[in-house]
Amino acid sequence: AYRRITKISLSHIRGPIADASLLLGWTLNLKAFTGNLPELYQSDAAAADLKWQKTYGDVVRIKGILGEDRLLITDAKALQYIYQTSGYHWPKMWERRELSRLVTGPGLTWADGDVHKRQRKIMLPGFGTPESRAFLPVFLGTANKLAEKWKDMISTSGTDGSMVVNMPYWLSRATLDAIGEAAFGYRFGGLDDDKNELANAYTTLLSETFGSPSLPAIFTISTWAHLPAWLRHLFQQKSARLHHARATEKIGNSVAKSLIDAKANALMGGKGGKDVMSLLGILATPIYILLTPDTMLHKYRTIMLAGHETTANTLNWTLLELCKQPHIQNKLRAEIWDAEATLRANGRTQFEVSDFENMPYMTAVVKEALRFHPALHHAYRQAGRDDVLPLSTPLQASDGTVVTELPVPKGLKIVASITGYNRNKLVFGEDADVFNPDRWLRPSDGKKQTVVGVYANVLTFAAGVRSCIGWRFALYELHAFIIELISNFEFELTPEAEHIRRHPCLVVAPTIEGREKEGAQLPLRVRIAVKGE
């Protein structure tokens, strides 16, 4: 109570009103204890963010647990300060780290401070530009395998040269195979075997564990930082909602363990591969001896999950947008076919990263998909000290004053809205709410911008010391899949695809309205594209 009364106040910052009545008739109103969090977590991904941003501006005060103030931030300068300037002074929110620990173990996405610095330093050399470029053939190969699979399916059970395909099922398996080969030199076999245990476990992991949290779940997750560790672990072991996460942890650990053993043996025998883990050589150096076996397991599980669900969902949303606007799809296909013809004319068979320079429309589509549909819509941080946030746009406070920079108290929890920033009109223009790849082809207006994100100034891969280490990887993988899929197929909306929900479940997955329990669903009609010579 003393801390609450004496800390820097945010009461003048405007925001939505939360239901504050403690009782509903004779029953306790849980909503009053969870403030605006239900709307934030239960609506379509970022729907609340965009609504509040429109009404209150780029810094919005929302209510968290038991009336505590939090901020939802989409302001470029404030985000740049939090992500880049402050380094480790804005650590991840503890309760969200605990959630990522549940699905990947205490790996890089969980770690903070010095532990994070150490872990990241070990991993980074495997994810540089030359290393990532070298994996393009792996990504093209996996995408081609998926294309061949779909062609077989269409020829055996399609009608009229087409069939309806559930995108998330296949894209998740294909990106899992791609990350397996590139990061570990191992074929998971997700595309070959529909009974693949790991691929099947991942299929509904995120939607079952994180999708549509109930009010008691929101309350528990937001307060478990205050529980003693034994009670928290007991809850996590017993919770029915976490059953799938526990089962996947077992499968993930056993797959990761066999990969590590095989890799360590190969490296010790002088047979390193070209995958990230071989490049890092951790398993053949004294560092490995210093790391506990568990630390290696968590590194593997982090890459396995972070490296495939994100890319798969970005592809899901890209294909949906290309179906909604067929003229974009056709223009993209024409560019790809032209580039393929040039490749053949030069006596080559496979694209290299340098060829992408001659495919500006494809790069524009990738940038726009990353901007419009970030695979993660929120990031959660907490002020490690009393601080002052700089602002790009002055804020109109509720007492009529104008705020040009914002003092905030230590411990303040913030939601960095990745979607909100990516739709910020000051950064991306008045048409920021429209999916339009052409924006990336317009000449620059010469205005100096506050640069926040690591790529194209979108926040999709986060920024600063905690930015995505796999962003170059993801970029080349996205290009590879788009080339193979758009070159070989035409994609069309199905009646069910008209009712797709942006389902928040750690990542943003497509689900069909009212059928969220079935997990990620995006049925699109896939037709073999016929090239006119």
What does the alpha-carbon distance between residue 218 and residue 42 come to, in Å, rounded to a whole number? Answer: 10
* Residue 377 DSSP symbol: -
Decide: helix, strand or coil at residue 450: coil
Mark residue 35 as left, alpha or beta (left: phi above 0; alpha: psi -120 to 50; beta: remaining).
Answer: left
Residues within the interface to ligand HEM (CB under 6 A): 108-109, 120, 179, 183, 302-303, 306-307, 310-311, 314, 374-376, 379, 460-462, 466, 468-470, 473-474
- Least Cβ distance, residue 380 to ligand HEM (angstroms): 7
* Residue 463 DSSP symbol: -
- Least Cβ distance, residue 475 to ligand HEM (angstroms): 8
Q: Which is nearer to ligand HEM, 31 or 424 (CB)?
A: 424
What does the alpha-carbon distance between residue 198 and residue 177 come to, in Å, rounded to a whole number? Answer: 11
- Least Cβ distance, residue 368 to ligand HEM (angstroms): 13
Fill in the amino acid letter for 310.
T
Q: Which is nearer to ligand HEM, 279 or 469 (CB)?
A: 469
Q: Which is nearer to ligand HEM, 154 or 458 (CB)?
A: 458
Q: Which is nearer to ligand HEM, 460 or 487 (CB)?
A: 460
Q: Which is nearer to ligand HEM, 280 or 375 (CB)?
A: 375
Mark residue 509 as left, alpha or beta (left: phi above 0; alpha: psi -120 to 50; beta: remaining).
Answer: beta
Structure tokens at 245: 């996460």
How far apart are the two ends of the chain, measured CA to CA in Å? 75
Q: Residue 341 phi/psi, 5° resolution?
A: -65, -40
- Least Cβ distance, residue 260 to ligand HEM (angstroms): 17
CB 64 within 8 A of CB 249: no
Q: Is 468 known to sit in a ligand binding site? A: yes
What does the alpha-carbon distance between residue 308 and residue 103 come to, in Å, rounded to a whole number? Answer: 13
Q: Residue 330 phi/psi, 5° resolution?
A: -65, -40
Q: Tokens 């995120």 map to which residue?
A: 206
CA nearest 32: which of 60, 66, 70?
66
- Least Cβ distance, residue 188 to ligand HEM (angstroms): 14
Q: Which is nearer to ligand HEM, 315 or 529 (CB)?
A: 315
Q: Which is nearer to ligand HEM, 18 or 319 (CB)?
A: 319
- Least Cβ distance, residue 104 to ligand HEM (angstroms): 9
Which residue number places its CB atom closest to ligand HEM? 470
- Least Cβ distance, residue 361 to ligand HEM (angstroms): 19
User: Which residues sit in the known binding site?
Assistant: 468
User: Which residues sit in the known binding site for heme?
Assistant: 468
